[in-house]
Amino acid sequence: MALLDIEELTVEFPAQGGALRAVDGVSLSLGEGDVLGIVGESGSGKSVTMLALMGLVPFPGRVRAKRLAFAGHDLLHMSAHERRRVIGRDVAMIFQEPTTSLNPCFTIGFQLTETLRLHLGLDRAAARAARRSCSMPSASRPRRAGSATSRTRCPAA
């Protein structure tokens, strides 16, 4: 079974004279440990595809798919409460402009710790320990969110 399975995802927004289809029939399947880079021109639907996966398409947008699943969870039919238990803990997104997602006034470590505290219910010491178990190549270890980004790898919590 795939970790992430998207089949024929379509996202539409109402527009004058009909609907604007921002995403049209996207299908993909990723196994655990797979890496996917989504590239395309501005306005091609990259962000909207991921927003649909996370349940963050704003009203009056409409999301349809034959299948939208993560780790065996049917995201299309989850309640908002159930989805919040998965999104943010197991699925996350840093939006196109990282300085709006990551605050350059705080270290990345602090921001990761706060995320772990919020989504895993850890106290500050446990969240710091979990964050420290993440690995990042030392040659490109950024100090603040505005620094160069790096690929990080964290064990499952």
What's the confidence (pLDDT) of residue 95? 67
pLDDT digits (tens, 9 = 90+) for 69-82: 998 889 998 887 88
The angle at the Cα of 122, spanning 117 to 127, to the nearest 5 degrees, equals 70
Give per-residue pLDDT as tens, 131-141.
Answer: 887 654 444 44
Nearest to 133 by CA among 117, 148, 113: 113
